[in-house]
Structure 1
Amino acid sequence: MFEKAHDFNIEQGTFNMIQGDQLNVQIENTQNSQYNQFVKIEVENLRVQSSNPHSEVIVIKPNATTHFAGRKKELELLNEHFHPWQPTQERCRRVCLLHGLGGIGKTQLALKFAESVSTIYPGGHVFWVDASSSDTIRASLIAIADLPLALESGLNSNTATPQRVLGWIASLKDDWIILFDNANDEISRFFPPGLQSGDILITSRNHNSSRGVGKKIEVDVMEEDDAVEMLLTKSEREENEHSTDIARQIARELTYLPLALEQAAAAIRWGICDLGSYIELYRKYRQEFLDNPSLKSASDYELTVYGSFEVSWRQMEEKAQRNDSMGLAAQYAIYLFNICTFLHYYGIDEELFRMAAETWLKHLERLQKRGPSKGEKDEGPHLLDITNLPYFEKGWNPVQFRTSMHLWQSVSIIKRDAKSSTYFVHPLIHQWGRDRYPPDQQRQHSRITGALLILAARYNTGVNMRLMHRHVPHYIEHLHLVKDVDTSYWEDRLQWASKVCGGLQDRATKAAIDMKIMEERLKHLGERHVLTIRAMSAVVIDYASLNKHTEAKQLLERVLELQRSVLGEDHVETITSIDNLGLLYLQLGNHAEAEPLLMKTLEQRKLIYGEEHRRTFTAISNLSTLYQRLGKFAESEKAGLESFEKRKKFLGDTHPDSLSSMENLSLLFSEEGKYVEAETFERPLLEYHKSIVGKTHLESLASMGRLAQIYSAQGKYIQAEELQMELVSTKKEKFGRNHPETITALADLRTTYQRLGKTTQAKAIEYELSNVKDSASSISTALVVEDVTNVAGTTPVIANDSEVRRTWFSDLLQLHPAFLSIPVAVLLTFLVRFLI
């Protein structure tokens, strides 16, 4: 019956059958001869030849893991759903579906539950069925016919059919439960007949794998403590403070996926690496760790991490071969997924695709009617990926998009956040989606994603730009990683990304990108090339935006020297650099040297651009700031209001320039003691920031702090208290309780409590402040940069200097994870330059 199996000695019993990795042995028991006892015998390297003439498919029931961690919530939900029936209750069938990603631990959870329900289902009426295909379902059902109770009823595997076995199960008087494991397709046709008897538990990647499911339970990643416990136990490492800390880092790196953790434990246990070196090796050889065939035996799952994802991919490819609407939806689903793997894995918004599709359609229609317009190349990165956007040629179809995304949702590859209505992909699936392709196809998918982002950005440069906050830095990272050999292509994208990050006020990301552009141009074009000079000018702006005024001044002096030599004294870019130098003087307190430079800039811009141009508005705003520094408040108010009104009229309320003017006016009126006027600008400014960049962004936090101070100055302490409490809570979560920003917020709230007579609350904060460590750090100020494009379309201009209390390092913290998505080499260069 099986080959290479020997030395069996069965005493006082009869060998009946082999089922999976268990031998079914009938043991003579004088006390209870009515039932068979089952002895579990571990069988390794054993090939089984089925004696059943109806099927040669062999089904192997997985063992419950020897170390089951966590899943308390899911087990409670299962126990609650399959609770014992009371005598007075009317019996009806209960059906529950455990669904989730492959390798997430659905089977082990089901087996663990099955072990705990012997009191609910007396007589051992717990049946397991491999539901991965129709053949395995039939083989599993026929194998049930050889169980002792079935044999007593006259069934046996030689004569039984699946229908007869299902009928026998339905006829059982005692309660029973069937576990349909790893169901792929609709399996309700294999349910035993009737609706009053028995229960059914299904595990599946597909949350729609069966009709008539009374309860669906999603099995998600593990809790962190449970993941750490499992990793240490299965890797056979001693649990101590040091090993627990390292295991916690590994668990986070693997994003708490049970199968990945189990195979990581095997790699550590087998000596492929040790606990301390795992993360370093994993980051370097990620694909080898997640798709290593030798690690399959580490678990009963019999698939690698990447292999478990490939199962869902093959199912989608099979659907895509169909010549019907489902086939088209699957083809589009594959196309969308390849784009998603080059976006950030979280916050994938349908709006991105809609805006891109509508922009692309308008572009194609214009080309067909009029041909390319003059200046097409100056509008932004050239839209060269025509052949890569076939699904957008007919415009936007939300039904098609949502149907295709639902196909991935059905197999747990992509999920949807019900609150935000955005999609997200598990980080390991996200990585696998790129790793499964060779480099040339990765570059193709990267270019498609780039075209999508550019088209979406061109749809609306206002509030909708917030949709790109995560995705642009992530895309730039992988533009670098896929090593696109077309230098002009990736530099075109880098320039575009820099502009987008400037519009989003994502200063650190913009600085890292601009540094990369400058280094590449210095290397390939030389210092005196006009494109290199423009790249250097962009880095000057970045230095200033991060409060590195000395570095900015040194680099700007070199830029001016090159511009005067290469472009001439009266060139518009030279004049722009002179203006920037004046602003740097302003920041450094050299007001007397700054005033003539800024006055000259305003006159030059009026002459070149006219009275109603963005650059002219910026020059007026800069003069307002200078007058404020000089104590000329009347002149400062006049210039500031003039700049704001013109920006509002020609650029819109929510344009970064308009918001910057509002901030300047709020600060100006506050400095003058005109708090009512200051409030009229600061309140809407805070709402704009919250809606555009979110309430936890530094701009929002700074605006919240300013408005609280304005309220306090007017005696509106209750309003100030409400804002300051929110500010303290957010900063604690964002920066930590010891950060200078948090300490300042706590101190302000304590003062407000004192003014309200809330002595108890004030003392509590006083006690908290007395226990804060390293509280002597000072909080510096930073420039607000306005990304203004010059005539050549590349060099931005340093604008006003709204005094927002923050540190440049806080900016880096704020931009996590977007900042961390920039290539390591770029970040190192960026940080080294700033720290020298």
Structure 2
Amino acid sequence: MEIYSHLAKALPIGPSSNATAASNINSCPLASKIFHGRESILATMVKYYAEDTRKQRIFLLHGLGGAGKTQITLKFVEDSSQFSDVFFIDASTPETIDIGLMNIAVSKYSGSNAQDALQWLSRTAEEWLLVFDNADDPKINLHSYFPQCKHGNILITSRNPGLAVHAGANAAVSDMEGTDSVELLLKSAVQDSTPQNREVAREIVKELCYFPLAIIQAGAFISKSGALNSYLAYYSANRARLLSEKPAQTHDNYGSTVYTTWQISFDQLTPPAATLLQLCSFLHHRGISEQIFSNASFRKDVSIHPLVHKWSQSTLGDPKKYHSHMVAIAGMSFEPFRTRPDMWLGDTTATIEVGLECADIYTWAGQDKKAEPLALAVLQRRRDTLGEDHLGTLAAMNSVAYIHHQLGQPKQAETLQSVVLEKQKSMLGVDHPETLITMLDLANTYRQLGQLQEAEAFQSVVFEKRRSIFGEDHPDTLIAMGYLAYTYHRLGRLQEAEALQSVVFEKQKTISGEDHPETLIAMDNLASHIHNSVDCRRQRHFKEAEALQSVVFEKRKTISGEDHPDTLIAMGYLAYTYHRLGRLQEAEALQSVVFEKQKTISGEDHPETLIDMGFLADTYYQLGRLQEAEALQSVAFEKQKTSLGEDHPHTLIAMAHLAMTYHQLGRLQEAEALQSVVFEKQKTISGEDHPDTRIAMGNLALTYYQLGRLQEAEALQSVVFAKGKAIFGDDHPETLIAMGNLASTYSRLGRLQEAEALESVVFEKRKMILGEDHPDTLSAMGNLADTYYQLGRLQEAEALQCVVFEKHKAILGEDHPHTLRGRGTSKCCL
């Protein structure tokens, strides 16, 4: 019958009880003539089937299609002499299993259906071996096809490791050993095993990830072309075709290529599981965690690829879904944590586009250096296939620009974004939503470059156009308003910033409700503007900020849980306000929690962890716990330098903070060395007028002061003071810090009248803005007292010094360094 001709070859003709083992192998093909290696798996199988278990022996070989499971099975059968009968069954569908069992019943004259075969196997207490090959369908309950008895032997090959529940032992079949894979390639390529050929083959199998089917296909191509030495170059240019092409001459009956065998497994996955596998194929296997995917549904401050954002929100709202997808992937023996199928997935059209999504994932995880090559690869692919002016190419260019922005490379980002903006204006028009998004992105880059006027110009345009097109209450309009408010804040136009942010907050509250994430973000931003606005640095305004942040923190804790990223951000903001209020013990308590939770959730090297480490160190610094501050800052600086590079803004901030602590510890030479580097890098990267350059200049000047290099200190401090006053006005904290530091240098230079004039202004403004008990007010009071002392105005000096001493003792305790100094002569670093 035709149906038997391809499923049950070489059926025996009579009872087999007295026949030799070789004559009783039913429809079992021979092993490939070029089979090589796998000795450890074969030895495990031989040992297992030799055991006297007094029960049915079941062994599972599992692994990705093309890994060599069937060939190992055939080699094992070929070398074994212990089995009375070997029955080889195609287990890919229930129908093929039924046909295979029916053939057993017919061949043994025991009936004509599958149940008859199972009964015969149950009655026949001999060493038969029943092979279920390609049992890949997870919906088939294979146990229902096992003979119900305590004797006999079963061997299963499957892509599904979950079948191990049936087995007494199992072995995973994956990569070959290096030496074995070299020999397999040379055998299949019909090449002599010379030292030179082995060296060439070693590079080829390494490129093929030691995957058996890929090696065999490569060997077939080489045997036809003789191109052993040039294969790698040809493969690099024609990978997809070579791994999809079925050789005309083969050494076995395996009908699929590398790509088709993976496609078979891939097609059985649900769409969300397939997307997850595609994403994993782009990520390094040691960097994959549920957290980096779940962050996708939390972050609001990055340009998230729409497809992956939607997938993350729908999939990771319930953690059970993520784990079910991972189980499904593992059930097909894909290895997402080793990226085994990436050479196939990376060549599929859909997955090339997923490269951008993976770049986003790396960005969420703070691994921007890993994101960059993926985004660049997609950009080049789109340039080649779509052309420079295609909208898809421009979108990829924007993604690369954003990664440059995150890497602290704003000039590279600005170059790309400017090109995209001009092309979009020409192709889509000035009012198109995509054009406005690019304009907003370019404005953010200008802000990072310190070009605040240019940023404000673009943001004003976007805000007005969105308000005109969408209306005042549209989410996009509110986003533009929020960005403009932030730039006003950076420009020192603090009342305008607060006014805009108040509007954003009230509208979000009305439109979305008090508990909506966007409302809580707006509330956080408003709190930030409040404790930085022109007249807000009074104690009562800090308390207004604290009140808002406390609400945000409690709401996020209730809605999202204590460990959610947004909750930790809110806790950090509240801690910062405590810090600014001088409530350092409360700030330290919250920051310690944030740091420990971030370390547990994201790992010690994650950028967010390092930022939180820096904040905690800064509070230690303010508390006078300088050794603890220095220990944390040293770690943060080294990790930032390793992960982000020496020129990244976060690295420079960490370097500056460490230098400040060296300064306070009296390690002035070390402080000056670091601060000089920070100042020169900031000047080169950001320009002389950038706020970060001005801060670096001020800190270096203060160390010059302590080193006695007073002329150099005064020169720098005069520039810092003049620039700060021009940009921020007389009452801004940066202006007051610069004024106080310049006054101290005047004092050391003997210019006491000039010093006293500046210090009086600083003291009165800080008392008015911050209150009499704030640490910065006490510092200003101590500095003024010191100048009075040098001027010979001893009674005025003593009066101030007594106040400082008593307040420090009451607030900080008798053993704090500031209290022990007896008078507040500490200088402020920016």
TM-score (norm 2): 0.51
* More divergent stretch after superposition (134-143 vs 307-316): 134-143
Q: Tell me which protein shows more helix as a share of its residues.
A: 2
User: How far, CA to CA, are the matches of 1:786 and 1:216 in structure 2?
Assistant: 60
Alignment counterpart, residue 240 of structure 2, candidates 284, 287, 295: 287
Counterpart of 2:342 in structure 1: which amino acid? H
Amino acid at match of 1:424: F
1:186 and 2:141 matched? yes
Quote how far apart the aligned CAs of 1:354 are. 1.3
Deviations along 1:280-311, one digit per CA (max 9) or x if unpaired, are: 22121111111113468454321011110121
Q: Which residue of 1 aligns with 2:632?
A: 684
2:288 to 312, 327, 348: 348
> Is 1:126 aligned to 2:86, yes or no?
yes
Unaligned runs of 5+ in 2: 427-437, 459-489, 496-526, 530-578, 596-607, 619-623, 649-653, 659-676, 700-830
Cα distance in 1 for partners of 2:343, 2:214 equals 13
Match of 1:490 in 2: 396
Is the counterpart of residue 78 in structure 1 residue 45 in structure 2? yes
Are the structure 2 counterparts of residues 220 and 697 from structure 1 closer, same or farther at C-alpha, using a change threshold of 3 Å?
Answer: farther
- Whether contact under 8 Å (1:228, 1:244) holds in the other structure is yes
Q: Residues 193 and 21 (structure 1 numbering): CA distance in 2 closer, same or farther, change over 3 Å? A: closer
Classify the secondary structure of the residue corresponding to 1:82.
helix
1:307 equivalent in alignment to 2:260? yes
Once residues 382 and 255 of structure 1 are traced to their aligned partners in structure 2, the CA distance between those partners, rounded to angstroms, is: 32
Per-residue CA shift, 1:644-666, capped at 9, x if unaligned?
A: x99x98999767679899999xx
Question: 1:424 is matched with which residue?
Answer: 337
Of 495, 499, 506, the match for 2:405: 499
Query: In the alignment, which of 93, 97, 102 is matched to residue 137 of structure 1?
Result: 97
Secondary structure of 1:65 counterpart: coil
* d(CA) in 2 for partners of 1:275, 1:782: 53
The 5 Å alignment of 1:709-724 reads none
Aligned residue for 2:374?
474
The amino acid that maps onto 1:136 is T
Q: Which residue of 2 aligns with 1:278?
A: 231
Q: Secondary structure at the match of 1:499?
A: helix
CA distance in structure 2 between the partners assigned to 1:402 and 1:204 by the alignment: 21
Letter in 1 for 2:396: W
3-state SS of paired residue (2:58): strand
User: Where does residue 116 of structure 2 map in the other structure?
Assistant: 164
Deviations 1:688-730 (A, max 9, x none): 579889999999xxx9xxx9xxxxxxxxxxxxxxxxxxxxxxx
Query: CA shift at 1:497, angstroms?
Result: 1.1
Aligned to 1:357: 297
**Alignment CA distance shift 1:468-1:113 (3 Å):** farther
- Deviation string 1:41-63 (CA, Å, 9 cap, x unpaired) is 9xxxxxxxxxxxxxxxxx96442
Could you tell me which residue of structure 1 aligns to residue 706 of structure 2? Answer: none
Letter of the structure 2 residue corresponding to residue 169 of structure 1 = L
Aligned twin of 1:453: 361
Other-structure match for 2:69: 106
Q: What SS class does the counterpart of residue 125 from structure 2 fall into?
A: coil
Partner of residue 277, structure 2: 337
Q: CA 1:608/1:240 → structure 2, altered by over 3 Å: closer, same or farther? A: farther
Report if aligned partners of 2:371, 2:403 keep a CA contact under 8 Å in 1.
no
Cα distance change of structure 1 residues 789 and 395 upon mapping to structure 2, 3 Å threshold: farther
Structure-to-structure mapping, 1:719-758, within 5 angstroms: none
- Of all paired residues, the percent bearing the same amino acid is 23
The answer to whether the 8 Å contact 1:221/1:258 transfers is yes
Matched, 1:201 2:114: no
1:96 aligned residue: 59
Find the aligned partners of 1:171 and 1:659 in 2 and give their Cα distance.
Answer: 71
1:382 and 1:787 map into 2 onto residues whose CA distance is 32
- Seen in structure 2, the aligned counterparts of structure 1 residues 282 and 520 have a Cα distance that, compared at 3 Å, is farther
Which one of 159, 180, 184 corresponds to residue 226 of structure 1?
180
Amino acid paired to 2:345: G
Give distance in 2, aligned partners of 1:497 and 1:251. Answer: 34
Q: Residue 205 of structure 2: SS of its match in structure 1?
A: helix
Are residues 353 and 165 of structure 1, via their aligned partners in 2, closer, same or farther at CA, if it must alter by over 3 Å?
same
Partner Cα separation in structure 1 for residue 627 and residue 2 of structure 2: 85
Aligned length: 532
Deviation at 1:405, TM superposition (A): 2.3
Q: Write the letter of the residue equivalent to 1:225.
A: T
The verdict on how the C-alpha distance between 1:472 and 1:356 changes in structure 2, with shifts beyond 3 A counting, is: farther
Are the aligned partners of 1:186 and 1:210 in contact in 2 as well (CA < 8 Å)? no
In the alignment, is residue 392 of structure 1 matched against residue 313 of structure 2?
yes
The 8 Å contact of residues 784 and 799 in structure 1, kept in 2 or not, is answered as no
Separation (CA, whole Å) in 1 of partners of 2:43 and 2:694: 59
User: Is 1:247 aligned to 2:247, yes or no?
Assistant: no
Work out whether 1:435 is the aligned partner of 2:353: no
- Please report how far the alpha carbon of residue 21 of structure 1 lies from its aligned counterpart in structure 2 after TM superposition: 9.4
Q: Deviations over 1:188-241 (max 9, x none)?
A: 1111121x2112111100122475322232212112222112111211122233
- For the Cα contact (< 8 Å) 2:127–2:152, is it kept in 1? yes
Q: What letter is aligned with 1:350?
A: E
How far, CA to CA, are the matches of 1:284 and 1:100 in structure 2?
29
Alignment of structure 1 residues 688-703 onto 2, 5 Å: 688=636
Q: Against the structure 1 CA distance between its residues 518 and 258, is the aligned structure 2 distance closer, same or farther, given a 3 Å change threshold?
A: farther
Residues 153-198 of structure 1, C-alpha deviations (whole Å, 9 max, x = no match): x44xxx532222222222223323222111123211111121x211
Read off the aligned partner of 2:259 and give its amino acid letter: Y
2:327 equivalent to 1:406 = yes
Closer, same or farther: CA 268–336 of 1 in aligned 2, 3 Å = same
Q: 1:436: how far off? A: 3.7
* Partner SS state of residue 95, structure 1: strand
Q: Give the 3 Å change call, closer, same or farther, for CA 173–690 of structure 1 in structure 2.
A: farther
- C-alpha change, 1:342 and 1:172, in structure 2 (3 Å) is same
The answer (yes or no) to whether the contact 1:96–1:201 under 8 Å persists in 2 is: yes
CA distance in 1, matches of 2:412, 2:195: 37
- The alpha-carbon deviation at position 132 of structure 1 amounts to 1.3
Q: CA deviation digits over 1:764-815, x for unaligned, max 9?
A: xxxxxxxxxxxxxxxxx99997899989xx999799799xxxxxxxxxxxxx
1:381 to 303, 316, 320: 303
Query: Is contact 1:18–1:24 with CA below 8 Å preserved after alignment?
Result: no
* Paired residues of 2:70 and 2:133 also in contact (CA < 8 A): yes
Q: Secondary structure at the match of 2:60?
A: strand
Shift of 1:37: 7.8
How far off is 1:353 after superposition? 2.1
CA distance in 2, matches of 1:406, 1:299: 32
Q: 2:222 aligned to 268, 285, 301, which one?
A: 268
Deviation sequence 1:451-499 (CA, Å, 0-9, x none): x639x73xxxxxxx34666455434423442447325422321122123
| Contact 2:368 2:403 (8 Å CA) reproduced | no
Pick the aligned partner of 1:35 from 8, 11, 19.
19
Instruction: Summarize the Cα distance change of 1:206–1:694 in structure 2 as closer, same or farther, 3 Å threshold.
Output: farther
CA distance 1:285–1:342, change in 2 (3 Å): same
- Which residue of structure 1 aligns with residue 598 of structure 2? none
**1:237-272 residue CA offsets vs partner (Å, 9 max, x unmatched):** 22233322221221121111100010000000011x
Shift in alpha-carbon separation, 1:658–1:143, aligned structure 2, 3 A: closer
CA distance in 2, matches of 1:488, 1:795: 32
- Please tell me the residue identity of whatever aligns with 2:100: S
- Secondary structure of the residue aligned to 2:134 is strand
Taking the aligned partners of 1:242 and 1:609, their CA distance within structure 2 comes to 73
Q: Which amino acid aligns with 1:188?
A: H
> For residues 354 and 296 of structure 1, what CA distance do their matches in structure 2 show?
48
CA distance in 1, matches of 2:65, 2:691: 49
Q: CA RMSD in A?
A: 6.2
